[in-house]
């Protein structure tokens, strides 16, 4: 049996990717200035495991600069293990409610902080980017 082939979306031109890299650098700088832990998820293979703001540049034509929050492994793994075992969605366990609350509030805080610093932020397609924030640029 042959392996299915998946085509990756086309990559953006180098100058577009360079603009996104510069924007991601500014996003990291601004979040660092606020005192938040920040790392580039696309440059650090294990960054999704580190707690803090995770900045990612997607190099594809439909890509951009994205930011999300990662909790410490203790909270994340406990919540996700419960989720994997199956939960009652009408009454989820307290740790899962807490985990979801942290992610929701940190997403809102990151969005507000970046908007306050002059960035144009928005919600990307949830199907492709989950709960990430999209940073579209700097407002004029």
* Residues above pLDDT 70, as percent of the chain: 90
**Rounded mean pLDDT, 62-71:** 92
Q: Which residues partner with 119 through β-bridges?
A: 138
Cβ contact 120:137 at 8 Å: yes
Q: What are the structure tokens assigned to 112, written together?
A: 């507000």
pTM: predicted TM-score of the whole model, two decimal places? 0.85
Q: Where do the structural domains in the chain lie, given as residue ranges?
A: 14-71+110-138
Tell me the three state secondary structure of residue 50. Answer: coil
- Measured CA to CA, the distance from residue 47 to residue 63 in angstroms comes to 19
**pLDDT tens digit string along 96-114?**
899 999 999 999 999 999 9
**Which tokens is 3 given?**
């392996």
- Please return the burial class of 54, using the count of CB atoms within 10 Å of its CB with bins 0-12, 13-18 and 19+: buried
Judge whether 55 and 67 are in contact, CB under 8 Å: yes
For residue 43, the model assigns a pLDDT of 82
Per residue in 16-58, pLDDT tens?
Answer: 999 999 999 999 999 999 999 999 988 876 556 789 999 999 9
């Amino acid at each position: 049996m042959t392996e299915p082939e998946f085509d990756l979306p086309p990559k953006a031109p180098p100058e577009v990717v360079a603009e996104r890299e510069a924007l991601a650098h500014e996003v990291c700088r601004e979040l660092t200035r606020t005192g938040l832990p920040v790392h580039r998820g696309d440059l650090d293979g294990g960054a999704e495991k580190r707690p803090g703001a995770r900045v990612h540049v997607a190099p594809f034509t439909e890509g951009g600069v994205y930011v999300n929050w990662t909790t410490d492994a203790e909270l994340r793994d406990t919540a996700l293990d419960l989720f994997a075992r199956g939960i009652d969605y009408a009454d989820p366990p307290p740790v899962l409610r807490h985990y979801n609350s942290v992610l929701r509030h940190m997403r809102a805080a990151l969005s507000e902080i970046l908007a306050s610093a002059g960035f144009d932020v928005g919600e990307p397609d949830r199907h492709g980017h989950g709960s990430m924030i999209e940073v579209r640029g700097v407002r004029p």
